[in-house]
């Protein structure tokens, strides 16, 4: 089999002598043919096509160092990009990282961040190929993830059709519940509440379900990063259809329900509008027999927008500029 290669410019991680410290903590994986240390990395691309996604995390906007350690932030930064690759039906192969950091950032925090990148990538068999680093007043992290489709067509947002069903794989509402507890300063003294706080700090996307959905014949898919209503709105707009959700179909996890009781909140609101769990939402033709990993939560009909109980919900999810 001919293994194709792609060369990616990843900057110079040698600044401040950090390259040696980082490189020694990053094991090589098969997809990374040439890793940190040169002007560019070289990644294998057996399919001949490369799926690419990128995200930016800013301290104080996407994470707080008094809430999350370096390891948590590394896992979270990698996860949200790897989930985007999986949502296209691809298998993640590698990431490259851009890092801005204060000069007084403790090296122990940097080491933990690097370990977080490494361990989250290891979940899917991917590697850290390299990146760039600079001085900055706050911690700023840019992650670009790459993936391989394995010969499959990519699953887009624009393939939903009337008569198809909407299904979700993974958890919903956990990260939002954890954030709400931290924001309220509520005591987190039980294992069940600690579970949702951990979900905010370190999401657990169902990576394998992305390629699985593609193999099953999903007509549209995305990861839930900004809230289910908000993200399914992108599917509805791209496909020219309406998505109707049945709230009775959603299984509210016990930790989410307990957190809602603690704060006097509606757990279904977190499920529908809370982001950062990076669950996968996909649309399937009605004849597809879905495995238990997928929960049907709605249907696609003619029209536009996203409705719950036949009504449009005004609060839809996260918007960076709202």
Distances (CA, A) of 5 to 28, 54, 67, 226: 16, 20, 40, 33
Q: Give the helix, strand, coil percentages of the chain, each rounded to 5.
A: 35, 25, 40
DSSP H or E segment with residue 35: none
- 66 marked ligand binding residue: no
Distances (CA, A) of 158 to 168, 237, 318: 17, 8, 21
From 141, 149, 161, 118, select the one nearest 55 (Cα to Cα): 141
- 226 marked ligand binding residue: yes
- 53 marked ligand binding residue: yes
- 225 marked ligand binding residue: yes
144 bridge partner residues: 54, 96
DSSP letters for 151-168: TPPP--SS---TT-EEEE
Token pair, residue 97, equals: 């990282």
Q: Are 121 and 77 in contact (CB under 8 A)?
A: no
Distances (CA, A) of 107 to 1, 18, 97, 103, 104: 43, 10, 17, 10, 9
- 266 marked ligand binding residue: no
- 62 marked ligand binding residue: yes
Distances (CA, A) of 73 to 41, 198, 262, 297: 24, 11, 26, 31
- 269 marked ligand binding residue: no
168 bridge partner residues: 281, 295
- 39 marked ligand binding residue: yes
From 78, 96, 103, 80, select the one nearest 38 (Cα to Cα): 96
- 276 marked ligand binding residue: yes
Q: How far apart are CA 261 and CA 239, in angstroms?
A: 37
Residue linked to tokens 């519940």: 177
> Coil, helix or strand for 226?
coil
- 35 marked ligand binding residue: no
Q: Annotated binding residues for Mg(2+), as ranges?
A: 39, 53-55, 84, 132, 223, 226
Q: Annotated binding residues, as ranges?
A: 39, 53-55, 62, 84, 131-132, 157, 223, 225-226, 276, 318
Q: Annotated binding residues for ATP, as ranges?
A: 131-132, 157, 225
Q: Annotated binding residues for substrate, as ranges?
A: 62, 276, 318
């Amino acid at each position: 089999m001919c293994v194709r290669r792609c060369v990616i410019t990843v900057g110079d991680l040698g600044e401040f002598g950090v390259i040696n410290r980082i490189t020694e903590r990053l094991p090589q994986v098969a997809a990374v043919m040439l890793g940190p240390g040169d002007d560019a990395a070289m990644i294998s691309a057996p399919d001949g096509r490369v799926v690419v996604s990128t995200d930016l995390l800013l301290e104080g906007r996407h994470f707080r160092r008094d809430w999350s350690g370096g390891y948590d932030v590394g896992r979270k930064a990698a996860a949200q990009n790897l989930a985007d690759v999986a949502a296209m039906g691809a298998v993640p192969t590698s990431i490259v990282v851009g890092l801005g950091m204060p000069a007084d950032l403790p090296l122990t925090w940097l080491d933990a961040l690097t370990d977080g990148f490494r361990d989250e990538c290891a979940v899917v068999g991917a590697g850290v190929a390299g990146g760039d680093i600079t001085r900055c007043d706050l911690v700023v992290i840019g992650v670009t993830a790459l993936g391989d489709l394995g010969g499959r067509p990519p699953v887009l947002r624009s393939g939903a059709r009337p008569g198809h069903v909407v299904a979700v794989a993974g958890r919903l509402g956990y990260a939002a519940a954890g954030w709400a507890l931290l924001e309220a300063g509520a005591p987190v003294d039980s294992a069940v509440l600690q579970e949702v706080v951990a979900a905010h700090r370190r999401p657990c996307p169902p990576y394998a379900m992305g390629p699985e959905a593609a193999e099953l014949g999903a007509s549209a898919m995305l990861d839930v990063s900004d809230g289910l209503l908000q993200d399914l709105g992108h599917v509805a707009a791209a496909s020219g259809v309406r998505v109707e959700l049945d709230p009775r179909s959603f299984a509210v996890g016990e930790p989410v329900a307990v957190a809602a009781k603690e704060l006097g909140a509606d757990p279904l609101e977190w499920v529908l509008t809370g982001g950062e769990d990076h669950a996968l939402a996909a649309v399937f033709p009605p004849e597809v027999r879905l495995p238990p990993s997928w929960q049907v939560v709605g249907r696609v009909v003619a029209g536009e927008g996203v409705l719950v109980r036949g009504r449009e919900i005004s609060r839809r999810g996260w918007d960076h500029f709202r």
